[in-house]
Amino acid sequence: MDNTKKTARVVCAVVRHEGKYLCMKRTRSRYAYVSEHWEFPGGKVEQGECDHEALLREIREEMKWDIFVGQKLAELDYDYPDFSTHLVAYDCRCDQPDTFLLLDHLDYKWLDYDELDSLDWTAADRELLRLIQP
């Protein structure tokens, strides 16, 4: 990882329900290479937070939704042109799959594992797809 760039620890929820994975489409941002790309929901870990707390907070803030956070699935480092990320993915479950709000995303899809590759993912999340198993 490039130490001259700002680096963030980011957690994401790989939410599975009845064999399908929740995919979220990002809003437009100042970085074209992540704008309107697909991702697993989550966000930055704030100082003093553990991953579990950060993930629950991010999902509540961005989606007004409660999930169950399980075991760590994978983690990776990724260098984007303007920043670096340490991405940690957790296996998550939900009781009510379509009760969340799109407060911070443009769209969502529930897809089978073999359909995930059809989306235009952020680069870090595309790398993550190679590390998670159905």
**Three-state SS sequence of 7-54:** EEEEEEEEEEECCEEEEEEECCCCCCCCCCCEECCEEECCCCCCHHHH
What are the structure tokens assigned to 23, written together?
């995919």
Quick count: other Cβ atoms within 10 Å of Cβ 25?
A: 16
Adjacent-strand bridge partners of 74: 89
Give, for all 134 residues of the chain, the pLDDT tens digit.
Answer: 555 778 999 999 999 999 999 999 999 988 898 999 999 999 999 999 999 999 999 999 999 999 999 999 999 999 999 999 999 999 999 999 989 999 999 999 999 999 999 999 999 999 999 999 88
Coil, strand, or helix at residue 97? coil
- ∠ CA 82-88-92, nearest 5°, is 130
Round to whole Å and give the CA distance between 44 and 121.
Answer: 18
